[in-house]
Structure 1
Amino acid sequence: MIVGLIIACEVAFWVLLAAGLAFRYALRMPRTGLALLLCEPLLEVVLFAVTAIDLKNGAEPDWRHGLAAVYIGFTVGLGHSTIKWADARVAHRFAGGPPPVRPPKYGTARAVHEWKVAGRWILASLVACALLQAAVWYVGGDGDTGSLRAWQLRMLWVIGINLVIAVSYTVFPKQEPRGKAVENPVDSESGAGSSSRR
């Protein structure tokens, strides 16, 4: 039941996202579209409530309950950025909006971008860990919480990997190729366009 609900929530997330963007831009009904997009958090509330009820009714905590906590955490941490990413592209394609801003490729700007991405993944993992810990406390010392602890360990790995990636871009920043540093030969002679980062 829990796995089926997780799948249903994932499908509903993308259906609501598509419907919300369609109403906002294709049908020119921005308020209705916004209302549909604001329904996204309700999916996590429903999943959390059903998971809690399942545990309260005596179900043994297993990987399914851990997966539900992880799904909620990742939706909290990454859901907003996913909606924002899709909204910018649909607005550009169908409503004459500006082109989506591409992430920087080089130097400090790229390092800052990587830290922002890592921050979202770390937030997702921390929310998942907190929900998993709440489930562990709820079950108590008499129950088998090994599967929940295993999910917590996986989330710590996710945090560690994202920290390593962000730190690597900070300590070893990617440098812009010399051939791209100067785009206009005329500017290079006057010094106006030298060594500018994108």
Structure 2
Amino acid sequence: MIVTLVIGAEVAFWVLLALGLATRYLLRLRGVSTALLVGLPVVDLTLFVLTVLDLRGGATASWTHALAASYAGFSIGFGPSLVRWADRHFQYRFAGGPKPKGAPKYGPARTRHEWEFCRRTVVSAAITLALITALVPLSDGAADFGTFTGWYLRLGMAAGINVIVAGCYSLWPKEAPAGAIVEDGHVVGWKIPQQQ
């Protein structure tokens, strides 16, 4: 049942996001758009509440309950940046906005990008682990707790790997190709060799 709820929450997230952006840029109903986009965290909260109710109703704790907590943690950590990404692309495609830039590739801008991604991953992992920990008392004891412990290791490793990657970009920033003109981490042109 929980897997179905997670899939339903994922579908609801994208439908609400698409409707929110469509009402903002195509119908020009900013208030309705804001109400729809505010509904995105409600989807996550509803999924977690239903997960709690499932466990309180006597369901055996399984990886699906931890998956629901992970979904909520991911949405909180990455949701705002995902909405901004979708907003930029929707605005470009349907409202004459500027073409969105991809992630910066070089120099300090790339390092900042990696640390921001790392921050989101750590926040997502911390929230997910807090939610999983909140589910433990609702389970049937040590046997069910074992179901959740693997998530602590996986999420800890994901956060640790992101810290290492961001740290490597701090120590060894990615350099642009020779002759490239770089602005905010993007190649915007090439230097022309001077004639001698």
| TM-score for the superposition, normalised by structure 1 | 0.87
AA aligned opposite 1:37: L
In the TM superposition, residue 185 of structure 1 has moved relative to its aligned partner by 4.4
Question: RMSD over aligned Cα, in angstroms?
Answer: 2.0
Distance 2:59 2:138 in 1: 12
The answer for the alignment partner of 1:196 in structure 2 is none
The answer for the alignment partner of 2:3 in structure 1 is 3
**Count of residue pairs the alignment pairs up:** 188
Distance 1:178 1:154 in 2: 39
AA aligned opposite 2:175: Q
Unpaired segments ≥5 residues, structure 2 = 182-188
Distance 2:135 2:93 in 1: 44
SS of structure 2 residue aligned to 1:41? helix
The answer for the alignment partner of 1:15 in structure 2 is 15
Distance 1:118 1:157 in 2: 12
The answer for the alignment partner of 2:174 in structure 1 is 174
The answer for the alignment partner of 2:88 in structure 1 is 88
Q: How does 1:48-197 map to 2 (within 5 A)?
A: 48-139=48-139, 141-181=141-181, 183-185=190-192
Distance 1:112 1:31 in 2: 33
Distance 1:178 1:121 in 2: 33
The superposition leaves residues 36-73 of structure 1 with CA deviations (integer Å, 9 ceiling, x where unpaired) of: 11111111111111111111122221111111111110
* Greater mean deviation of Cα atoms: 139-148 or 37-46: 139-148
The superposition leaves residues 71-121 of structure 1 with CA deviations (integer Å, 9 ceiling, x where unpaired) of: 110011111111110001111222222332433221122101110011111
AA aligned opposite 2:155: M
Distance 1:112 1:160 in 2: 17
Distance 2:176 2:129 in 1: 38
Q: Which has the higher strand share?
A: 2
The answer for the alignment partner of 2:42 in structure 1 is 42
Distance 1:185 1:155 in 2: 48
Structure 1 residue ranges, 4+ long, deviating more than 3 angstroms after superposition = 137-143, 181-186
